[in-house]
Amino acid sequence: MGYKMKTWILAVIAVILMALYVFYGLTGNIGYVLPRRLLNLLAICLTGGAIAFATTIFMTTTNNRILTPSVLGLDSLYMLIQTIIIFFFGSNMMVLLGGSVNYLISIAGMILFSLFLYQFLFKGEKNNIYFLLLIGMILGTFFGSFTDFMQVLIDPNEFMMVQDRMFASINNVNTDLLYISIGIIAITFIYFMRFYKYLDVLSLGREEAINLGVPYHYVVKRLLIIVVILISVATALIGPITFLGLLVVNVSYELMKTYRHFYIILGAVLVSMIALVGGQFLVERLFTFSTTISVIINFIGGLYFIYLLLKENRKW
């Protein structure tokens, strides 16, 4: 079966799951429930797509299949930046200016960080991938602990006011930010199209890319900025899901068996939507687990990650 056929099948599965998510057990006040579900669905799809998209770009530019933005702690960093902003400016500003200003400032912070990350990842001599992974995971813990630390420091009353609006999860989708997120993703995507043609060549590796005339550092720096913007948007909408990107992009690689990024990205985006929408449908409606899909994805993702590490168990 060719990758075009597979893409179609994935798309059909995704649409069926979305329909199930929206219409299954639709009772009560339909006028209230239906729009609510549609908004949630939109947010989940947007997030799933953004994570899959960002992770594929990131894996291609770093030339490996283990390193993902989330594993490097980027989504924890986003949470930290949000918290720091509240810490310094207080919740009054949040209420006054609305969540979106905070959101935009955080994205700006993330872009600054990506430039630092770029120095670390691409400027130096050849980096040991495991070293980067370990540093990234501990940075994630560091950002996470620091976020909690700051949150304890913030006046509890003040914190309560903003907590719900800031820290989303898949059961508490931040629909306030939905429209601005769509706008940001659209702009990012249009900007990305300028670099799209380089992706296939970049996957051959840095040296091959330079040899074939890719303005390497220029392109990589901009792709990284695109990655952090997408991750910020995703984290703002439904909170961090560490292993989603790793899982869906690798599934897409295995499924599509091609180097063509058009299909890898499309496949990853679809798999991601299937995993999130389908998973949430199963967990929430069918099994009525009180757990969240993030927990399950992190469990499967963690196992898969160990498998990848042990399989690719060699020096890089």
Partner 1 sequence: MKIWHLVTLLILFSFTSVFLGVTDLSPKHIFNLSETQQQVLLTSRLPRLISILVAGASMSIVGLIMQQLSRNRFVSPTTAGTMDAARLGILVSLMLFTAASPLLQMTISFVFALLGTLIFMKILEKVKFKDAIFIPLIGLMFGNIISSISTFIAYQNDLVQNMSSWMQGDFSMIMSGTYELMLVSIPILILAYIFANKFTIAGMGEDFAKNLGLNYRQVVNIGLVISALVTASVVLTVGVIPFLGLIIPNIVAIYQGDHLKRTLLHTALLGAVFVLFCDIIGRIVIYPYEIPISLTVGVIGSAVFIFLLLRRRKYGL
Partner 2 sequence: MVKLKNVFKAYNQRKVIEDVSLDIEKGTITSFIGPNGAGKSTLVSMISRLISKDDGAITIDGKDIMQTKNNEMAKKISILKQTNAVNLKLTIRELVSFGRFPYSQGRLTKVDEEKIDEAIDYMELRDIQDKYLDELSGGQRQRAHIAMVIAQDTEYILLDEPLNNLDMRHSVQIMKTLRNLVNEMGKTILLVIHDINFASCYSDHIVALKDGKIVKQGRTCDVIDQCVLKDIYDMDIDIKEIDERKICVYF
Cα–Cα nearest to 139, from 60, 236, 67, 88: 67
Among 102, 121, 138, which residue's Cα sits nearest to residue 235? 102
Residue from 31, 213, 290, 313 that binds partner 2 (CB under 8 A)? 213
Under the binding rule (CB under 8 A), the answer on residue 208 touching partner 2 is yes
**Burial classification of residue 128, based on how many CB atoms lie within 10 Å of its CB (0-12 exposed, 13-18 middle, 19 or more buried):** exposed
User: Cα 276 vs. chain centroid, distance in angstroms?
Assistant: 12
Angle formed at CA 80 by CA 76 and CA 86, multiple of 5 degrees: 150
50 near 185, Cβ under 8 Å? yes
Q: Does position 44 bind partner 1 by CB under 8 A?
A: no
Q: Assess 157 for contact with partner 1 (CB under 8 A).
A: no
Task: Identify which of residues 37 and 206 has a Cβ nearer to partner 2 in the complex.
Answer: 206
d(CA 108, CA 114): 10
Q: Does 257 bind partner 2 (CB under 8 A)?
A: yes
Contact between 160 and partner 1 by CB under 8 A: the answer reads no
- Counting contacts by CB under 8 A, is residue 34 touching partner 1? no
Q: What distance separates the 2 farthest-apart alpha carbons in the chain?
A: 63
Structure tokens at 196: 């799209």
Q: Which of 178, 204, 296, 300 binds partner 2 (CB under 8 A)?
A: 204
What minimum distance in Å lies between the beta carbon of 126 and partner 2?
11
Contact region with partner 1 (CB under 8 A), list: 111-119, 181-189, 192-200, 292-300: 292-300
Q: Does 120 bind partner 2 (CB under 8 A)?
A: no
Q: How many CB atoms lie within 10 A of CB 162?
A: 21
Contact with partner 2 (CB under 8 A) among 134, 215, 291, 309: 215
Contact flag: residue 308 with partner 2 (CB under 8 A):
no
Beta bridge partners of 169: 172
* CA–CA distances in Å: residue 72 to residues 57, 134, 228, 242: 14, 8, 11, 9
Q: Is 207 in the site for partner 2 (CB under 8 A)?
A: yes
Query: Is 119 among the residues that bind partner 1 (CB under 8 A)?
Result: no
- Among partner 1, partner 2, none, residue 207 binds (CB under 5-8 Å by kind): partner 2
Q: Is there binding between residue 86 and partner 1 (CB under 8 A)?
A: no
Task: Give the one residue of 1, 5, 190, 310 binding partner 1; rule: CB under 8 A.
Answer: 310
Contacts of 255 (CB under 8 A, 6+ apart): 6, 10, 267, 271
What 8-state DSSP symbol labels residue 180? H
Distance CA 10, CA 16 (A): 10
Q: Is 205 in the site for partner 2 (CB under 8 A)?
A: yes
- Say whether residue 153 binds partner 1 (CB under 8 A): yes
With CB under 8 A as the contact rule, the residue among 35, 112, 115, 145 that binds partner 1 is: 145
Q: Figure out which of the listed residues 107, 168, 201, 274 binds partner 2, where binding follows CB under 8 A.
A: 201
Binding residues for partner 2 restricted to 56-115, rule: CB under 8 A: none
- The alpha carbon of 42 is separated from its chain's Cα centroid by a whole number of angstroms, namely 15
Q: What residues line the site for partner 1 (CB under 8 A)?
A: 128, 130-131, 133-135, 137-139, 141-142, 144-146, 148-149, 152-153, 289-292, 295-296, 298-299, 302-303, 305-306, 309-310, 313-315
